[in-house]
Structure 1
Amino acid sequence: MDRLTAVRVFVEVADRGSLTQAAEHLDMSAAMVSRYLAAVEDWFDARLLHRTTRKVSLTDAGLAALPSCRQLLEIATEARHLAAARNREPAGVLRVTTAGSFADAQLTAALADFQRQHEQVEIVLSVGDKPTDLVAERVDLAVRITNTLDPAMIARPMARCRSLLCAAPAYLERYGKPETAEDLQRHRCIAHAFGIGKQYRFTRNGADLAVPVNWSFHTNETAVLRRAVLCGAGIGMLPTYYLGDDLGAGRLVPLLPDHEPEVLGIHAIYLSRQHQPLALRLLVDFLAERFAGDPAPWDRGLDLPDLS
């Protein structure tokens, strides 16, 4: 029986405290997990786990063996990565997550281009705005748009995310165009999130400005916000990476150009620089190069204030 797999099974059971959960994660039967555990205990010549009908816990021998088992798995993983690097051909699965709107507007095309260069890399892309536990969810790379970073993670800056206040021509024809920030109080505005304060925040002439508004529509998804604005439901604040075609075609009209919404960072977030798979390192470098520059590629050609 493969000892490395047996060690991996032992570590998984120790981490999850359950044979059943470990079996589900490893895509094995519970009987197979039990056989691997028996094999690793024979190898160590010690009982490593206490088993009951409800839970599994480590014996003293198991507690002593667990760090070495983790190290063994790390060494095996690093050896595979070194072999892949020697062959100069990345392979394997990369699990990536990002906001749905950024995936739609920018990241999906970038990942497709990356795969054309590295056909042995499989991409699993999940979308959502909620914070992601990279360890628990087995995510290799999170592309996040935020100014609040977890110091426990590695965050590589890739670009700046700017936003514009905008509305559809049909909305402006019906309700008029706001000429000042104070005019927004008389308009129908669309909120990106639930339970946020009733205000927009801008920077104007170097000063921060909070403008009271009345929300008429709430959504937690940028794609839905954009669609609501296009339908004439109200005024919305949208990221410029999602707006180029709409502005160019006249489907959306920018408002209050001298009021700059908060600028956010777009970051590649991952767990560690150590033992990093070749495919992940190449992907992060690829995305950083693709989105590099100030202004960002999607902002070139837009009439935006200079941030330098």
Structure 2
Amino acid sequence: MSTNQMVALLGEMAVFVKVVETGSFSETARQLGATPSAISRSVARLEKALGTRLLQRTTRKLRLSESGHEVHRRCVDMVSAAQAVMAVSGQFDPEPQGLIRVSVPKAVGRFVVHPHIPDFLARYPKIDVQLQLKDSYVDLIDDQVDLAIRITDRPSPGLMGRKLIDIDHMLCATPEYLERHGTPTHPHDLKVHNCIFLGEEPGDSRWKFQLDGKKVNVNVRGRYAVNHTGARLDAVLQHLGIGSLPYFTARHALQQGHIVQVLPEWKFKTHYYCGEAWVLYPPTRYLPPKLSAFISFMAERLGQEPTLYKKSPQEPELSAPPYESPEASF
């Protein structure tokens, strides 16, 4: 392919990126001030020049083909590089702007991220935020998400990102409950207590503990199980029993003395809301200013709360091979 041909295709590549972003020819046309047929022809010209089908068109949605997924990743780098050039030249507004779609687990979004959003919006008046609170797995491309905050000790190998905080899980109860029913001194003491647990799977009532290399598993019981951390906190505050809670949910009640930690010397092991919180995004050489601003802001804010979380040091960016979705769709 000649240089002239490549230059002629730069515009088509930018249009292709916008189509993937919006998931629609008509919405892309609306945003770019063109017609849907013109957008469709632009993508068709790019496909013809590259000799490969980039999009699989159905009556309901557009999907990236296998080759389209890789082409899209490279085209995103091109668009980001163009924005960087404009910023250097002074022709592009250096102030971060645009919409950011962020997917966050429900409780983390409500108790950890959401409280800082007003200050973020005040600092960056040209950025809009769409916070999507969901516990189900989110595909960054398929679900049209810019950033995903996930609790994991092993981030997806095909993504880039930054560790924000460590998240602990703990057992809590009110002083009133413990005064009436006694304070456990060993995990096995929980067998005679009313325990408030997740209740989604049979294993949720099997609590696991570790101390100095010693592991103890206890089958607990209770009259109330609920799969929402805020509801479990409220149940604990109502003196219903000993509940399992993420530290970020329990922290304010702990600080105010409304509840206390149970078996604090034992590490409570669970797969639910426990581990490292990472903010992740598709691999790119040029991170858009709006995303960089959001990541830096959250890392700064959460890093200023050492008494509420385990403070995470400045983490290098996680660099990995391109992420490939199980279904290359958007």
Partner of residue 151, structure 1: 157
The alignment status of 1:192 with 2:203, answered yes or no, reads no
Structure 1 residue 45, shift from structure 2 partner:
8.6
Partner of residue 75, structure 1: 78
| TM-score (norm. length: structure 1) | 0.74
The SS at the match of 1:280 is helix
From 279, 296, 308, the equivalent of 1:268 is 279
Contact 1:84 1:278 (C-alpha < 8 Å) held by counterparts: no
Partner of residue 24, structure 2: 22
Aligned 1:224-303 pairs, distance under 5 A: 224-262=231-269, 264-292=275-303, 296-299=306-309
Show CA shifts across 1:43-99 (max 9, x none): 9999998999969999xxx99999778755652343134434754311111111222
The SS at the match of 2:165 is strand
The alignment status of 1:133 with 2:136, answered yes or no, reads no
Structure 1: segments with no counterpart, 5+ residues: 301-308
Show CA shifts across 1:105-143 (max 9, x none): 231232322332221111111112222211111212222
Contact 1:230 1:251 (C-alpha < 8 Å) held by counterparts: yes
The 1:146–1:231 alpha-carbon spacing in structure 2 relative to 1, beyond 3 Å, is farther
From 31, 36, 41, the equivalent of 2:39 is 36
Aligned-partner residue type, residue 308 of structure 2: W
The structure, 1 or 2, with the larger RCO (C-alpha pairs under 8 Å, 6+ apart) is 2
Aligned-partner residue type, residue 39 of structure 2: Y
Q: Separation in 1 of the partners of 2:97 and 2:35?
A: 28
The 1:142–1:10 alpha-carbon spacing in structure 2 relative to 1, beyond 3 Å, is closer
Structure 1 residue 159, shift from structure 2 partner:
1.6
Q: Separation in 1 of the partners of 2:188 and 2:306?
A: 30
The 1:278–1:187 alpha-carbon spacing in structure 2 relative to 1, beyond 3 Å, is same
Q: Separation in 1 of the partners of 2:87 and 2:180?
A: 61
Q: Separation in 1 of the partners of 2:154 and 2:67?
A: 38
Partner of residue 174, structure 2: 168
Aligned-partner residue type, residue 22 of structure 1: S
The 1:4–1:254 alpha-carbon spacing in structure 2 relative to 1, beyond 3 Å, is same
Of Structure 1 and Structure 2, which has the larger fraction of its residues in strand?
1
Q: Separation in 2 of the partners of 1:23 and 1:118?
A: 30
Show CA shifts across 1:8-58 (max 9, x none): 666788x79xxxx73476486xx9423432466579999998999969999
Show CA shifts across 1:228-263 (max 9, x none): 222233211212222232113222121112112246
Aligned-partner residue type, residue 193 of structure 2: H
Partner of residue 110, structure 1: 116
Percent identity between matched residues is 26
Number of corresponding residues: 288
Q: Separation in 1 of the partners of 2:282 and 2:71?
A: 21
The alignment status of 1:203 with 2:210, answered yes or no, reads yes
Q: Separation in 2 of the partners of 1:88 and 1:284?
A: 17
The 1:51–1:247 alpha-carbon spacing in structure 2 relative to 1, beyond 3 Å, is closer
The 1:291–1:24 alpha-carbon spacing in structure 2 relative to 1, beyond 3 Å, is same
The 1:233–1:279 alpha-carbon spacing in structure 2 relative to 1, beyond 3 Å, is same
Contact 2:209 2:267 (C-alpha < 8 Å) held by counterparts: yes
Q: Separation in 1 of the partners of 2:66 and 2:275?
A: 44
Aligned-partner residue type, residue 156 of structure 2: D
Q: Separation in 2 of the partners of 1:57 and 1:121?
A: 27
Contact 1:11 1:66 (C-alpha < 8 Å) held by counterparts: no
The alignment status of 1:177 with 2:183, answered yes or no, reads yes
